[in-house]
A and B are shown apart, each in its own frame.
Chain A
Amino acid sequence: MKKILVKSGLIALAVAVSACTDPGRFGAGGAGGDGTVGADAYDPNNAASNPNSPEYFSQRVGDRVLFAVDQSTLSPEAQQTLTAQAQWLNTNGSYSAIVEGHADEQGTREYNLALGARRANAVQEYLISQGVAGSRLRTVSYGKERPIEVCSTEACYMKNRRSVTVLSAGAGF
């Protein structure tokens, strides 16, 4: 499956990027992460230093954006991250992406599924508006099924209300 590559990418990330403050389960970076965009000197031991690597995408570009409670609108910060995602995808045409939408646990299961879908769709539409072909993108909502943070306070909820752009090898679906 296409996902295997992504998974191995995540493992590499977890092993290699000890400097990351909050790697999370589905990758690091994103708004609020340490995802400052900028190129380090090429380091063959650090996959994320290769600007065309999925690791670079998840860690440096930032694979996620965060949302306000019960909202799916993209903050200026989120738009900045997504613009960078689109640039990366436009440069790296051999990847497609699944945009995951997530919600925090403060909501009913069905509603959160629908809300996660709204978020994923908002991201997908933004990426398309930045020139990414729709055929390279799919969305899925996990609702509140896959939090990355497990505490029951806003500090965790704000990180769980997210979309994550998960790369797959292959130019489209």
Chain B
Amino acid sequence: MKKLTHILAGLALALGISPAIAQDGPLRIEITEGVIEPLPFAIPVFIAENAAAQEYAAQLSQVVAADLAGTGLFRQIPRDAFISNVSNFDAPVQYADWKAINAQALITGAVSVAEGGRVNVKFRLFDVFSEAPLGDGLQLGGTTTSWRRIAHKVADQVYSRITGEGGYFDSRVVFVHEEGPKNARQKRLAVMDYDGANVQYLTGSASIVLAPRFSPNGDRVIYTSYETGFPKIYIMDVGTVQRRILDDQPGTMTFAPRFAPDGQTVVFSLERGGNTDIYKLTPGGTAQPLTNAPSIETAPSYSPDGSQIVFESDRSGTQQLYKMSAGGGEPTRISFGEGRYGTPVWSPRGDLIAFTKQHQGRFHIGVMRTDGSEERLLTASFLDEGPTWSPNGRVIMFTRSGSGAGGESALYSVDISGRNLKRVPTPGAASDPAWSPLLP
């Protein structure tokens, strides 16, 4: 168990969670200093309980493994290293065989597909070195077309049981799909699973679209479009793809919208006569200014409890981050480092604010505490911008753009520890990702 503890300690660090009391229970990721080494897990191909389940069993276990390994916190043990296999979901686990290949966690599953296309998945998670199940077995069902979601839910369960954190795999990302060269770029709204699967386009490419964001329950997307020739905010129902303009005051531009946690109030930027301030709109109401300054005030984002708004302003002469009461009032500056700070986004856990920093010709994604302390930069490149939080507040996705004539944009993700930076697969160039909440 000494080794397990050590590994878990490292994993916990990778999650970047603030120090917590040591857990007595085994197979638990702890938060402390240490070397990062991914936790090795074994996931035999899920058992197909009938012929129709065959293709889903293989794919489901593959997606579960990819979810876990993709976090950088877990490492899949190749199946050809297995000593014993699992051919019966209810057979006793041969712990010695899994210990021998140093599997710390074992995930077993069984899949059946019923008449009419319903897929049913059972799974169990075992702590190999404690020789005990970790949590109860669980059964999940859905249509065959939603098999990936079921796999993500299994992976979320495993992740949660081992880390003690909420999962984030069963989630979606809305983003802007891009085509064409920099000086004639076409943009369309698209939505996909967090891992790039199941891409669906929400708009055509006739008008520029920018910076979509999900409603708190993921049923709607709010974004900016040039449909009228001028930037205006639209709200779209993701299911029906029906959209409506939010607020059309002639002679104004509106952009940078976000929902309040209540899912009804919207906060956004409104430009009039060259000056941009932050406004809020409640259902049935008219747009109310929350700031009133000759400087640029934009990129507002609510705290998860809805009581505060963080935003950017150049009132000091350069772009900096400020927070204020959700009702407006005197803002407090929270960014004091060198360079310019923009696009602040409050973590769903409420503990951190992610931002874009521009300094000496480079762009960074970073996080700071909500009072501006403990700033940490997670990335550096020619152009990184626009962070969005995973539903559990552990991972940040953002846009990375290349320089020069051939420079394209792509989506990247990084842990809030700064580890596990990787490109998110998209069908082409992409920008402006926004993560959904965990799906129900």
- Which residues does A use to contact B, with CB under 8 Å? 3, 25, 70, 72, 98, 105-111, 113-115, 117-118, 120-122, 124-125, 138-142, 145-152
Residues of A contacting B318 with CB < 8 Å? 70
Q: A117-B276, A147-B182, A150-B407 are in contact. List 15 more A-B contacts (CB 8 A).
A: A105-B383, A106-B361, A108-B319, A109-B210, A109-B211, A109-B385, A110-B269, A113-B253, A113-B256, A113-B276, A117-B274, A121-B273, A121-B275, A140-B229, A148-B183
B137 within 8 A of partner (CB):
no
B227 to chain A, nearest CB (A): 13
Cβ B385 vs Cβ A108 within 8 A:
yes
Given contacts A120-B274, A150-B181, A152-B382, contact A111 B298 (CB under 8 A): yes
CA distance A113 to B342 in the complex (A): 13
B203 to chain A, nearest CB (A): 15
CA distance A47 to B318 in the complex (A): 44
Residues of A contacting B407 with CB < 8 Å? 150, 152
Given contacts A138-B251, A150-B404, contact A114 B298 (CB under 8 A): yes
Cβ B405 vs Cβ A150 within 8 A:
yes
Q: Please list the 8 inter-chain residue pairs (A to B) with the smallest Cβ-Cβ separation, ordered nearest first.
A: A121-B274, A152-B403, A114-B276, A108-B342, A114-B296, A150-B405, A150-B182, A110-B256
CA distance A139 to B273 in the complex (A): 9
**How many chain-B residues does the 8 Å CB contact rule pick out?**
43
B109 within 8 A of partner (CB):
no
Closest to A121 in B: B274
Within 8 A of A (CB), among B267-303: 269, 271, 273-276, 296, 298-299
CA distance A29 to B396 in the complex (A): 44
A93 to chain B, nearest CB (A): 21
Cβ B382 vs Cβ A122 within 8 A:
no
Residues of A contacting B343 with CB < 8 Å? 108-110
Residues of A contacting B356 with CB < 8 Å? 108
A163 to chain B, nearest CB (A): 11
Given contacts A110-B269, A111-B319, A114-B298, contact A145 B208 (CB under 8 A): yes
Residues of B contacting A125 with CB < 8 Å? 274
Residues of B contacting A149 with CB < 8 Å? 183
CA distance A114 to B297 in the complex (A): 8
Closest to A115 in B: B296
Residues of A contacting B230 with CB < 8 Å? 140
CA distance A6 to B181 in the complex (A): 23
CA distance A67 to B183 in the complex (A): 19
B401 within 8 A of partner (CB):
yes
B231 within 8 A of partner (CB):
yes
Say which residue of B185, B229, B299, B361 sits within 8 Å of A110 (CB atoms).
B299
